Structure 1
Amino acid sequence: MSMRLLVFAPTRRAPTETFVRANLQGLPFEIIAYFGDEQPLSDPGRLAYGLAILVSKALTRLGLLRLATLPGSLVAWCLIRRHQPDVLMTEFGFHAVRVMEAAAWSDTPLIVHFRGSDASAQNRLGLLKDRYRRLMVIVSGIIVKSQPMRRTLLALGAPNDHLIVSPSGADERLFHGADPGRSSPLLVAVGRFVAKKGPLQTIRAFAAMRQTLPEPVALSTKLVMLGDGPLLAEARQLVETLALGSAVILPGLADRQRVAELLRQARCFVQHSQVAPDGDREGSPVAVMEAQLSGLPVVATRHEGIPEVVEDGVSGFLVDEGDLQGMAAAMARLIVEPDLAARLGAAGQRRAAANFTARHHLEQIAALLRKVIQESR
């Protein structure tokens, strides 16, 4: 008889729904998932859960943090009684505190999946620090994306022997086949246009790089940045201000197939991740792992989990946050030295295939789930 996993997530929006609906379905568990932003009238359980999360959010905004835990926890407790799961999982720490007491009341092991901003942004970490300390008493296991995130949660009392660092990984069925040694001088960035992804810094570094290249090479070098977000309009304005013209292409959102196709055509992947003004940070960016698994070298920053994925000088180049000249120089090397791009890309592909695939991520999660279930019996 298969074990049953009950998942509580804040939203159906990607990446949460993709992770729950697609990735977790690969686990040897029966999966039942509830999302906080759905209130279907046809399903009383889902309706109650969605409404409880709305109430919890309202109480949090009023500063009533202890009280905010009760609505979600009460409904989650009822759902636990209904489904009788072997183990619970919540997506994001800020959502876990909304339902955590249900795990304590029902004596059901709870795994919490932290993803990034929930363990770094000051508007969340500062506000929820006391609630997180309570969560660490209840939780049976924790999944984080990077060593810095691990250290943050250990300082809040996370159980060291049940805390795993497991980047989400890339889909090896989709991301493969790049040939940077033979590709055109195309640089690719993929990610939301938000401060922690540093899209404006990437554009400025690209502009600086073009100034160092011979004119024919500079004119043929392109930067494509896939994604959407609040900084997209500012990024488009910056492209105009820097007179980059058609050298920088900002087409907006793209599906995973389009991302994979573009990576296969590229010379390298670029991303200037940084600490956002509100303290928000990356975990280990999936797009970086997708690029490495595809066979591309990566030019990025020494930010959070990125150095755990990209080996400086081996599978790409890393610079300090804010070092636009260093980033420009690294990109220029890969443009003028395609053999170097090929060598770094091949090294990154081998490392990603061994350590950073979605399959590897699921195997780590499955092992942790089995461990906490066994210990709860």
Structure 2
Amino acid sequence: MTDYRQRLLVFAPTRRVASETFVRANLAGLPFEVSAYFGDEFPLDQPGRFAYGLGVLLSKICTRLGWLRLAELPAAFVAWVLIRRHRPDVVLAEFGFHAVRVMQAAARADVPFVVHFRGSDLSANRRLGVLRSRYRRLVSIASGVVCKSRPMATTLEQLGASPSTILISPSGANPALFSVGDPALAAPVFLAVGRFVAKKGPLQTIRAFAGQPQGELWMVGDGPLLAEARRLVQALQVQDRVRFLGVKTQSEVAALMRQARVFVQHSQIAPDGDSEGNPVSVMEAQLSGLPVVATLHAGIPDVVLDGSTGLLVEESDVDGMAEAMTRLMADPNLAAQFGLAGRERVLAAFTLEHHLQDLTRFLQQQIRSTTHF
């Protein structure tokens, strides 16, 4: 007798975004047979994948031309065909803006349908404004919705989602990749990891660092604000103490975290309304035994306990962030104490395995509670 593995069909905008979690899920032996289709793939030798990529492309073109009534049809038609082919027990769509392209297919197929919101798809003013009416339709169709933080859940409820259909589950960090360092013995280094975009607050981080009497600031990442960040460093005359390290692999970031004393991130609501979900880099820093100086933004306070695992300030409070950074840099033992408590907190509730277990239970719940054929 062979064991039956429940079938999960995934639709995602790009392979880069969605594949990692579900490849890990399969490798970990979670109870799903996963088939995934990505909107940026056009393999000529795989007709189904090519058709889905083409359908998504046509939907994007219709949207850009303003043909909104037609925009959902190409991707939805291919998705419906794929649902008929795979006969999944549950369908998962990654990102709200992508889920609206396939929601009619899921509704017509009468299959449990879960949408995974990740952050910018639910916060940026321009995107949310354009999609608001379709998001209302989306949450009425979806049997379940996954998001990263309580503020995101509140937005979903305002769009009409029932609280009983929402799962709040941060993506989680991987303990196998991020081992603990010792901030008490580390060099006086502040570490920031993230794209140089407004919601990550790299310019605010630099301004907070500029008043520090000692130490260096290492910044990992790339993005549209990098050039402005370099100019700001020159203007503040801290170019000898700020290092721009560029994009790094996970293993390289893990090594840098073991060398630093404090992790810093000034997350904030960007001018266009974009905001974080629950930054994975913050969890990875805590797994590495680093104390965190960050903001009271999105899901960060759920993970970082102010005064216990790090220090949190209000968004845009550069002076407050500078004071918090000074406090931890001047007291290596306190930094180590916060770092150890942060690692224990992430291990207890915010690892990748916790997220996958939460997601598995939630998907199975949708299968059990929805009758479909």
* Both proteins in one fold, TM over 0.5: yes
Aligned to 1:229: 223
Alignment of 1:110 onto 2:104: no
CA distance in 2, matches of 1:20, 1:370: 15
Distance of aligned partners of 1:356 and 1:342 in 2 relative to their CA distance in 1, 3 Å threshold: same
1:232-311 pair list within 5 angstroms: 232-311=226-305
Aligned to 1:44: 47
Using the TM superposition, name which of 358-367 and 226-235 deviates more: 226-235
Report SS of the residue matched to 2:77. helix
1:64, distance to aligned residue in structure 2 (A): 3.0
- Identify the match of residue 22 of structure 1 among 1, 12, 24: 24
CA contact 1:59–1:68 (8 Å) conserved in 2: yes
Aligned to 2:64: 61
Which residue type is aligned with residue 216 of structure 2? K
Aligned to 1:145: 148
Report SS of the residue matched to 1:245. coil
Alignment of 1:5 onto 2:11: no
CA distance in 1, matches of 2:68, 2:149: 27
Report SS of the residue matched to 2:240. helix
CA distance in 2, matches of 1:18, 1:335: 35
| Structure 1 unaligned spans of 5+ | none
1:24, distance to aligned residue in structure 2 (A): 5.7
Q: Indicate the percent of aligned positions where both proteins have the same amino acid.
A: 59
CA distance in 2, matches of 1:100, 1:24: 25
CA distance in 1, matches of 2:99, 2:68: 13
1:123-134 pair list within 5 angstroms: 123-134=126-137
CA distance in 1, matches of 2:121, 2:160: 16
CA deviations over 1:10-37 (Å, ceiling 9, x no partner): 0122x43323333565332111110001
Distance of aligned partners of 1:25 and 1:126 in 2 relative to their CA distance in 1, 3 Å threshold: farther
Which residue type is aligned with residue 316 of structure 2? G
CA contact 1:291–1:298 (8 Å) conserved in 2: yes
1:70, distance to aligned residue in structure 2 (A): 1.3
CA distance in 2, matches of 1:16, 1:303: 24
| Structure 2 unaligned spans of 5+ | none
- Identify the match of residue 188 of structure 2 among 185, 188, 199: 185
CA contact 2:149–2:170 (8 Å) conserved in 1: yes
CA deviations over 1:218-271 (Å, ceiling 9, x no partner): 2xx111111111111211122122211231111110000001111111111000
Report SS of the residue matched to 1:246. coil
Aligned length: 367
Aligned to 2:325: 331
CA contact 2:118–2:148 (8 Å) conserved in 1: yes
Aligned to 1:351: 345
CA distance in 1, matches of 2:26, 2:79: 20
Which residue type is aligned with residue 52 of structure 1? G
CA distance in 1, matches of 2:21, 2:322: 34
Aligned to 1:122: 125
CA distance in 1, matches of 2:88, 2:23: 18
CA contact 2:26–2:33 (8 Å) conserved in 1: no
CA distance in 2, matches of 1:309, 1:321: 17
CA distance in 2, matches of 1:61, 1:250: 36
Alignment of 1:172 onto 2:175: yes
1:65, distance to aligned residue in structure 2 (A): 2.8
TM-score by length of 1: 0.95
Alignment of 1:205 onto 2:208: yes
